[in-house]
Structure formats: C-alpha cells, structure tokens
C-alpha cells in the first residue's frame, strides 16, 4: 500500500508550499514512480537553492558587525589610520564617485560608523531569520553598494573588489525574498489560514504587519544588546594580531641557510622596487629605494588579512583586498583597515648588488 508515503509527500508539499505541479505524488512503482520521485527531489532542491547563500550572507554580516564593534580602532579618531574616519577620508581623496556624499559621514563619524555596524547586524539577523527578507536584502545591497563605491572603488581589476561580489550576491534574495524556513514564511502561511477563515484582507495584512513589527523589535533589541556588549567588551587589535583570512605567506620553512637574495642595484631606481623572496618564509619582499642611496626591504604580505600588496607606487604600497595603504619608505600604515606596519628588512649595498638582510623587529 502506498497510501502512507503518498500522504507524507502531500503533507510535506503543503508545508513547503510547493506548487501543484511539483506536488504530484509518486503514482506507483517502476520507471514512472522513480521519475516522479526524482522530479520531487529536483523541485525541493530548486526551492531551497537560496538557503546556502542566505546562510552565508547572514552569518557574514553578523560577524562583520560584531568584528567592527569589537575593534577599538574602528571608532577611533582621525589619528588612527584604521579608523572609520581615516578610511572615509582616504575614499574621499581617492576618487570615489560618491565623494560628495561623504561630507556628512566625516562631520559625524561616530554616528555613521555605529550606523554601519548596527545596520550590518540588522541585515545579518533579518537575513538569517528570514524576517522581512527583501528589506534586509535591500539593506545589505545598499551597504555593499556604498562600500564598493568608496573603499573598493580603486581596486583594480574591478573583480577583486569584494564588495561588488557581495552586492551581486544580494540580488537573488532581493528578488526572491525569504519565503522558506523563515519568519516571513510563517507569517505568510498564517495569513493564508486567516483568509481561509474568512478574515478581510485589511485585517490579514494589518496582523502580519504588526506581528512582523513585533518580531523585528524583539530581534532588533537582541541585536542592540549583543552589539552593545560586544562594543563594551571589545578588544584592542593592536595587541592582538589578526589571523589571516587569505594568507599568501608560506609557513616558515627550514631554508634559512639559503644564500641571501641579491638584485642588481640598477633594478631598484629611486621610488621603484625589485621583488625577492625571504629565504626563511618564502614570502615576497620588495626591495625599495625611497631616497637616493637609502635601501630597505618591505614584506609584501598585508598585515590586515594577509593579501599581497601591490608594488610601491607614488610612495605607497596598496593592498587591493580592503584598501590599506603603507608608506613605501617605512612600511607604516597610511590608511587601514590594517593597523600594523609591513615588516621591514635590512638591505646592504655591495658594489652594484643589493643583498636582502634579516627581518627587523
């Protein structure tokens, strides 16, 4: 008897809100039954196709918000190169197409920095729980659009700017909303039941709006509390080196005995650089000559999250991942989010050759 499984499919189809076509039940055994079941599985997979993306974006935005709120540098003043105000100033002077909109953010940097962090938290929680999913997706898309047009604007080529990728990732959720495994889905199903009970459309809509609002206030309150606690107990990143999310450095290898790398002095003009490898770590190092006759080496590994910084240009080394800039003479941070300088190396000149020395400090 197939009555049990058939009823189960029908029940699941109703719960998941499947269309009638996809709700067709396996009619029996044999090839037709297998084809029906395969069609059911495909329909189910299509239906939940956006769940991994939703999970990723929700978790990432909650993480990013708490990361900002726990970072003492983010809300520091203009003297801190990793602060919101310094990064906004850099975006304004770096040719952002919306630089004319950045004035108010620079006038009230703490307010805007907190608004961004708590906005990310609201977007992340709304996305994870599927509460007003389209509104949350719109908020996420606007945040990433503004970050792309500011912080990531000078990243070249454009596809390395991660904010553009996030902006595109929000569009499916913006179009589809969060109807499954979500508060939105629950409210929609309850509205259907209310209609079936004969309640008027105005009443149904008002009830869904009020209940959605109550859920938003509850979740927003929880977000505010967790964000405030994170802010209160945040740590000073200058004392805690950030772990690399995408490290380009190799683990230390036992080849410190390898001969020190050398380059022709003529290959390092004033303001230019030549690239060698640190024999102890395998990391790329730029040998630079910031002033005539002054040579040093600077690690190419960004101290923010381990991306490779570009070769020196106009007196600075630029990191394409999140826009940190380092002084090409000293390795000091010019603009964050990095807070630690690039590791420096001694370089000695012997005749027409430059030799990389050990890392300093």
Residue ranges that bind ligand FES, judged by CB under 6 A: 302, 304-305, 307, 319, 321-324, 337-338
Shortest approach of ligand FES to residue 300 CB, angstroms?
11
Which of 127, 144 has the CB closer to ligand FES? 144
Alpha helices in 197-247 (DSSP H): 201-232
List, in sequence order, every residue forming a beta bridge with 263; answer none if it has no partner: 354
Shortest approach of ligand FES to residue 241 CB, angstroms?
13
Pull the structure tokens for residue 3.
């009555």
Shortest approach of ligand FES to residue 155 CB, angstroms?
10
Alpha-carbon span 166 to 205, nearest angstrom: 32
Shortest approach of ligand FES to residue 338 CB, angstroms?
5
- In order, the DSSP letters of 140-203 are HHHHHHHHHTTTTTT-SSGGG-HHHHHHHHHHHHHHH---SSSHHHHHHHHHHHHHHTT--HHH
How many Cβ atoms are within 10 Å of 280's Cβ, its own excluded?
A: 16
Which of 216, 342 has the CB closer to ligand FES? 342
Alpha helices in 70-132 (DSSP H): 84-93, 102-107, 109-129
How many Cβ atoms are within 10 Å of 355's Cβ, its own excluded?
A: 18
Residue with tokens 């606007």: 142
Give how far the C-alpha of residue 84 lies from the chain's centroid of Cα atoms, to the nearest Å.
16
Alpha-carbon span 354 to 15, nearest angstrom: 72
How many Cβ atoms are within 10 Å of 309's Cβ, its own excluded?
A: 27
Shortest approach of ligand FES to residue 324 CB, angstroms?
4
With both helix axes pointing from N to C terminus, report the angle between 162-176 and 51-69 in degrees, rounded to the nearest 10. 130
Shortest approach of ligand FES to residue 305 CB, angstroms?
4
Alpha-carbon span 308 to 250, nearest angstrom: 12
Which of 64, 265 has the CB closer to ligand FES? 64
Shortest approach of ligand FES to residue 143 CB, angstroms?
18
Shortest approach of ligand FES to residue 240 CB, angstroms?
16
């Amino acid at each position: 008897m197939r009555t049990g499984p058939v009823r189960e499919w029908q029940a699941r189809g109703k719960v998941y809100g499947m269309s009638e076509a996809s709700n067709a039940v396996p009619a029996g055994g044999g090839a037709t039954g297998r084809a029906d079941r395969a069609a059911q599985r495909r329909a189910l997979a299509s239906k939940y196709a956006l769940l991994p993306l939703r999970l990723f974006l929700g978790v990432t935005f909650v993480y990013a918000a708490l990361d900002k709120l726990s970072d003492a540098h983010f809300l520091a003043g203009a003297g801190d190169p990793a602060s919101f105000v310094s990064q906004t100033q850099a975006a304004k002077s770096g040719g952002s197409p919306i630089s004319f909109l950045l004035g108010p953010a620079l006038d009230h940097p703490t307010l805007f920095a907190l608004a961004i962090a708590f906005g990310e938290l609201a977007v992340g929680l709304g996305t994870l729980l599927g509460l007003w999913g389209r509104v949350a997706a719109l908020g996420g898309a606007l945040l990433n659009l503004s970050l792309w047009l500011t912080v990531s604007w000078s990243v070249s080529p454009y596809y390395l700017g991660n904010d553009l990728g996030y902006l595109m990732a929000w569009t499916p959720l913006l179009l589809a909303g969060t109807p499954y495994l979500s508060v939105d889905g629950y409210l929609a199903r309850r509205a259907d039941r209310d209609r079936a009970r004969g309640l008027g459309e105005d009443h149904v809509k008002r009830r869904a709006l009020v209940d959605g609002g109550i859920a938003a206030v509850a979740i927003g309150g929880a977000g505010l509390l967790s964000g405030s606690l994170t802010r209160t107990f945040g740590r000073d990143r200058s004392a805690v080196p950030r772990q690399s999310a995408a490290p380009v450095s190799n683990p230390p290898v036992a080849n410190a005995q390898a001969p020190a790398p050398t380059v022709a002095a003529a290959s390092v003009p004033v303001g230019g650089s030549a690239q060698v490898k640190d024999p102890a770590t395998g990391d790329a190092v730029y040998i630079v000559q910031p002033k005539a006759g002054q040579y040093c080496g600077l690690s190419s590994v960004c101290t923010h999250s381990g991306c490779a910084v570009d070769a020196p240009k106009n007196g600075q080394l630029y990191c394409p991942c999140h826009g940190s800039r380092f002084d090409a003479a000293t390795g000091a941070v010019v603009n964050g989010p990095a807070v630690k300088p690039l590791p420096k190396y001694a370089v000695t000149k012997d005749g027409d050759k430059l030799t990389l020395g050990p890392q300093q400090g």
